[in-house]
Amino acid sequence: MTRPSPDSLLAALAERAPRPLTIAEVARQLGLARFDRRVMQAMLESLAQARRVRRIGKARWQWQPPAQEARPQWASPRSPRTARLEGRYARVRGGFGFVEIPGRAQDVLIPEGAEGGAMHGDRVVIELRGGGGPRGRRAVGRITAVVERAREHLVGVLERRGRRWLLVPQDDLLPPIELIGEEEPPAAALGLVALARLTRPATATQSAAGVFERVLGDADDPEVQFLVIAHEYALRLEFPAAAVEEARACAAPGEPEPERLDLRDVPFVTIDGETARDFDDAVAVEAMSHGRTRLRVAIADVSHYVTPGSALDLEAARRGTSVYFPDRAVPMLPEELSTDLCSLRPGEDRLAVVADLVLDRQGRREKARFHRALIRSRARLTYTQVAAVISAADTPEIEAERRALGPLVDDLRRMHALMRVLYEARIAAGSLDLDLPEALVDLSEEGRSVGVRLFRRNDAHRIIEELMLQANCAVAEFLGSARVPFPYRIHEPPAPEAIEELNQALAPFGMTVKWKDEVQPADVQRLLARLEPHRLARVLSRLVLRSLAQARYSVRNAGHFGLAFRDYCHFTSPIRRYPDLLVHRQLLRVLDGVEEAAREEAEAVDAASRHSSFLERRAMEAERAMLDLRKAEFMLEHLLEPLPATVVSVARFGAFVELDAYPVEGLLRVEGPPPPRRARGRLRTPRPRRRHFQLGDRVVVEATNASLRQRRVEFALLEGPAPG
């Protein structure tokens, strides 16, 4: 068992400063597989007495600079030494905002008037001016410079104020834009949505200004709604001509090169959704002796076509990820690659990178090899199709499907059996089973919302999930052992404060996360198992999910808490995720024996990992915005209908409820007297009293407002819990 020194503990904490670390995180930082917790605890307490480290909360430790260098970040604004930090500015509707600083546990408050011309989403430099002290006061700062504008163009509704044209952004976190320049909107454009280019940000003495570019159309038009969200989240809709030209110049594969294995005789299949157009992963299984299974996961060799520094590569890095909406996608790569040459379509030769794994009967990996290959998929299968084929059902339609697939049916059943083994082993190791159903929107031919429903995954989804997890883990372990930099997919343990807050919310239901020293995945998984039979399982499980940290990309491995994996990365979707493409490049460099060249990429991979994490969050926000808009559109047809609902969160001004009939959430404002209620057979109208809501309360509400502009729904109470 390794015994670290006090100096090594200090170095580990200093490297991650100002973020406080638990003992387990310090051990991971030092690369210790086994350690004595009590010895490390005693060393840290001794260092704390010497004022070399600081204890944060119950179980975390923070590096403290030497006395001659130490100057608290909560120093007076008059202090000549103030910290300068860089992060992204997020404004809130109250007028103030926050800047999230990478590696800092708490974001920095930016008071109204201290934004220095920055707009919501901009990357900025800030100067700390107060707060952030040892008693936990939030740090306060002001923005001193804008490093990168989040958007060059803005969309909004055209208004007139006297002789001036204004563009009022759809996003109410952005200021109105005065339209300047020679070209003005046509008079008939009043009230329509338009696009303007920002030329002058707002300051304390001057309004924001921009140049009118074009009218987009009516705010109720689905195409305009898409353009509004695309511009609001700075999504890149057009590929540069150079990138398109490179994509069109790519050639279909011929006979395999010497370094590429010919695996066209292996019965690979793809399994995706019914509407999928890009197939970047294919799988094949083979039974071996002694209950072992050979699993081969073939991933499109995007790196063959998208080379470092090319126009395609630069554009993929700018996009970071594909973005998916109910009726379309904004792809990371041009369709010549994403839906053609890099799509593993059945019956066509395709270049791939293959993870070739041997698993024992318990699902443990015995061997892992990786190589370039040429493959030919046998079939393009759907989740619904596979779920029916591997089920116990024997309808004439399913039997006909099985006959059509022939020997592939046995392969699918082997995949199903392997999935069960892998899934049970993962859950037993503490991996979190947060299989929450997602909301899906049904659209009319015109692109308008006509239905909202919950989508539940089946065993075919789980087959692909488990097989992809195996490939991702195997690649991460291989690259980690080669000591080359690559984007780990990390998910850090939740902060003790977040778990304590979760426990307070769950206490009325008799449930808590029981933990000691540091929260472990198994601690949370035990809670989820208890929640499963509860009538509020979905609501309470979402609370658990919100208490967890957000996964991100990093060249420094911190493990994946949610999956309970020590080493994990994203390898299986290079068509739609830039970090996967980076992983492929590093993997192939190692296979080619040029590890030093791979190590020289450390700085570039680190920067790309951080940027990809930001782009991923932005894409998720855009997808959520479109889903919220479609839900609000759907509720326009259900205004003033009495609808049963459940309270899913509580606020000072009311509560948020989710409808029982549809997965639609909205704000329940409680104004005026409560509704009449019956007592001893007669109707009584009680005096107005403040109503107190609790998580899980059953109520009946009616939708009173569904705003497409704000993408939200508001409800009024019809029947509900007794007033408090």
pLDDT in tens, 489-509: 999 999 888 898 899 989 989
* 185-194, 341-350, 368-377, 667-676: segment of lowest average pLDDT: 667-676
Strand ranges inside 311-410, DSSP E: 323-325, 328-330, 349-359, 365-376, 379-382
State yes or no: pLDDT of 701 exceeds 90.
yes
pLDDT attached to residue 17: 67
CA distances from 659 to 65, 383, 663, 700 (A): 52, 28, 6, 9
State yes or no: pLDDT of 182 exceeds 90.
no
Decide which of 565 and 497 is more confident: 565
* 40-44, 130-134, 283-287: segment of lowest average pLDDT: 130-134
Q: Which helix (H) or strand (E) holds 178?
A: strand 177-180
The residue count of the chain comes to: 724
Q: Are the C-beta atoms of residues 228 and 193 closer than 8 Å to each other?
A: yes
Task: Record the tokens describing residue 440, joined without a space.
Answer: 């899906």
Distance CA 688, CA 705 (A): 23
What is the pLDDT averaged over residues 573-601? Answer: 97
Torsion, Cα of 608, 613, 618, 622 (10° steps): 110
Domain boundaries, the chain: 6-63, 84-148, 153-219, 241-426+444-479+615-621, 493-548, 639-719
Domain range 6-63, CATH class = mainly alpha
DSSP class per residue in 151-168: -SEEEEEEEEETTEEEEE
One fold for 6-63 and 639-719: no
CATH code: domain 639-719 is 2.40.50.140
pLDDT attached to residue 65: 64
Output the CA torsion sign for 228, 229, 230, 233.
positive
pLDDT attached to residue 495: 86
CA distances from 27 to 24, 423, 490 (A): 5, 28, 16
pLDDT attached to residue 443: 94
Q: Are the C-beta atoms of residues 352 and 299 closer than 8 Å to each other?
A: yes
Tell me the CB-side half-sphere exposure of residue 165, using CA atoms within 13 A. Answer: 26
Distance CA 458, CA 435 (A): 10
Residue 147, number of CB atoms within 10 A of its CB: 12
pLDDT attached to residue 678: 43
State yes or no: pLDDT of 81 exceeds 60.
no
Distance CA 129, CA 114 (A): 11
What is the pLDDT averaged over residues 604-631? Answer: 95
pLDDT attached to residue 321: 97
Distance CA 591, CA 275 (A): 35
pLDDT attached to residue 681: 38
Q: Model confidence at 79, in pLDDT bands (50, 70, 90)?
A: very low
Q: Model confidence at 67, in pLDDT bands (50, 70, 90)?
A: very low
Average predicted confidence (pLDDT) for the chain: 88
Cα Rg of the chain (Å, integer): 28
What is the pLDDT averaged over residues 160-165? Answer: 90
Q: Most confidently modeled of 128-137, 173-182, 200-209, 608-617? A: 608-617
What digits encode the pLDDT tens for the residues 224-245?
Answer: 999 999 998 989 999 999 999 9
Q: Which CATH architecture has domain 153-219?
A: Beta Barrel (2.40)
CATH code: domain 84-148 is 2.40.50.140
Q: Tokens 């329940």 appear where? A: 668
State yes or no: pLDDT of 1 exceeds 60.
no
State yes or no: pLDDT of 398 exceeds 90.
yes
Task: Record the tokens describing residue 421, joined without a space.
Answer: 């083994």
pLDDT attached to residue 115: 86
Sheet holding 293-300, edge to edge: 261-262, 365-376, 349-359, 293-300, 281-287, 269-272, 379-382
What digits encode the pLDDT tens for the residues 669-684?
Answer: 876 545 554 444 343 4
What digits encode the pLDDT tens for the residues 4-30?
Answer: 777 788 878 877 766 778 888 888 777
For the chain, what percent of residues have pLDDT higher than 90? 62
DSSP class per residue in 203-258: -SSS-EEEEEEEEEE-TT-HHHHHHHHHHHTT---S--HHHHHHHHH-----SPPT
pLDDT attached to residue 266: 97
> Which runs of consecutive H residues, i.e. helices, occur in 17-62?
23-29, 37-49
pLDDT attached to residue 452: 95
Task: Record the tokens describing residue 610, joined without a space.
Answer: 């951080």
* 8-12, 291-295, 411-415: segment of lowest average pLDDT: 8-12
pLDDT attached to residue 724: 45
Cβ-based neighbours of 101, under 8 Å, separated by 6 or more: 85, 86, 87, 107, 108, 126
What digits encode the pLDDT tens for the residues 130-148?
Answer: 655 444 467 889 999 888 8
What digits encode the pLDDT tens for the residues 450-502?
Answer: 999 999 899 999 999 999 999 999 999 999 999 999 999 999 999 888 898 89
